[in-house]
A and B are shown apart, each in its own frame.
Chain A
């Protein structure tokens, strides 16, 4: 056995030594990290591309429209031929109306659902409900938009006769349904990562499940819950198709929710589906609006990251 083994040892190691001389292996070893780092830089380039695109085209826009008119103007009338007005506040207000309504729907329901799933529901229920929530989150927004326009609006009109066909309420509610799974699922993650020992400590003192949920688990998971809400609202602000279909195209600076509105995103869609020629002020205005939108969502995302990092509970 010993001598046979020795023979073989030489042959295997010799075979290895023969193929070691091939140069290709070494080149691949050096080349691949370079290729991979290039792919990784694409994501950085994308961000740079977005920022620069928005900045350059917005700069072009501000050559033609004064920045104070844009930021503080309360009338958005880009299509009025003789004297177009570019005050962004009506678009911002339209966006906020929808987002606030959406948050009013999604935050209570989402957190309630998260509490139910994390604290009350059996394992089996959780295993059924969570995938269904995922399905809800995977429904394309165009489908939600159609649902808002053809089902929710007519339904609401029966309750509120003054409601217009295009309004803030219906898309607001539907955007709320859209972001609900996000809040429910992220908040549930935050709550179920609170260790059981903490729950048991309170339960052993005779606290009810509700008291444990609200006074022990909820505070411990608060940072996760708040950041899920901020992320969801940011998603609502950037939502496009629901508001384009059901919100209308009338930017107004009024606070009622029954009339037609226009959000920032819906304006970009309106211009894009029309024939605003390249190089016109209207063409550049979608970048200015896009930039405004980008700033809003970026700030929200950074806020969410800050909250979940700064106030993370260490168990």
Chain B
């Protein structure tokens, strides 16, 4: 006696194949929906904002009147902010990564630092704002300055940079280190002359991506009380300043419809800045693909 009746199997096979096709379509639609959302978002913002993009928009300061509003102070402020975040977060992040990958012994303390980093990555950005408000703005008297905001943002993206740098350092084959040690090189010589040069593309790519996250970040700056409408440019690290996302936030909140278009124009500038940064990151990644 046969347990399996071929005719029944074949009959059921048809419906099973159809169910498979049906669900494949569903999965495909789900994937497309995500992409579709991005398309709508971009089209919508471009159509709203392009009309407001002109030279005045770049050369004017913020204003109560939509037609006079510009992003000069915000754009310059965002760039200044980056100039603080980039060195601070990279020195701390790469230093931590070198320590963890090259020096740290496998023990509880190292595990603790590592676990701490992954938990820090999950802390909401607004909580970093509260940290910055207490420590940098009040305790260190940095107020609403570029420095206070830059330090806060550096800590915010620090975990991302550490993890990216760790991955880049780990990707350098151990044979490379052995070759260097075999020549009588010290540990630090091996790190600076062999490991870091090979890991730098990966570190830079990760850091630029993290930096672009900081540039688009708003919440911690709101908590720090960074002003939105400024009629002057910052002249030192301790000056007050404003940034693109804050400026956009302010415009988006306003009830007048014209400000929506101004906000959209600001978003175009912000997104353009991010696209440029991401392109640089991708360029570095492709150009210096590892050769081992």
Contacts and interface: CB of A to CB of B under 8 A. Distances in A.
A and B together in one complex: yes
B23 interface: yes
Given A43-B116, A110-B34, A272-B225, 19 more contacts: A33-B99, A33-B103, A39-B92, A40-B95, A47-B119, A54-B127, A57-B134, A139-B41, A141-B217, A147-B41, A149-B252, A180-B34, A209-B20, A244-B249, A265-B124, A272-B129, A293-B124, A294-B123, A301-B119
Nearest to A237: B124
A98 to B, nearest CB: 13
B99 to A, nearest CB: 4
Contacts of A112: 26-27, 30-31
Interface of A: 25, 28-29, 32-33, 35-44, 46-47, 49-50, 53-54, 57, 108-110, 112-113, 115-117, 120-121, 129, 132-133, 135-136, 138-147, 149-151, 177, 180-181, 184, 206, 208-211, 231, 234-235, 237-241, 244-245, 265, 268-269, 272-273, 278, 286-287, 290, 293-294, 297-298, 300-302, 304-305
B134 A241 contact: no
Nearest to B139: A53
Contacts of A244: 222, 249
Given A43-B158, A241-B249, A290-B127, A25 B27 contact: no
A32 to B, nearest CB: 5
B61 to A, nearest CB: 20
Contact of A39 (B34, B99, B222, B223): B99
A40 B222 contact: no
Contacts of B103: 33, 36-37
B30 A109 contact: yes
B3 interface: no
Contacts of A151: 40-41, 44
B24 A209 contact: yes
Contacts of A278: 138
A241 B30 CA distance: 26
Nearest to B186: A29
Contacts of B171: none
Contacts of A208: 16-17, 19-20
Interface SS, A side: helix
B66 interface: no
B213 A138 contact: yes
Contacts of A273: 222, 225
A43 B117 contact: yes
Nearest to A116: B27
A272 B223 contact: yes
B131 A50 contact: yes
B113 interface: yes
B264 interface: yes
A102 to B, nearest CB: 13
B146 interface: no
A135 B35 CA distance: 10
B92 A293 contact: no
B124 A143 contact: no
14 contacts: A39-B91, A40-B113, A108-B30, A112-B30, A113-B30, A138-B212, A138-B216, A142-B270, A265-B219, A269-B126, A273-B222, A290-B127, A293-B124, A298-B123
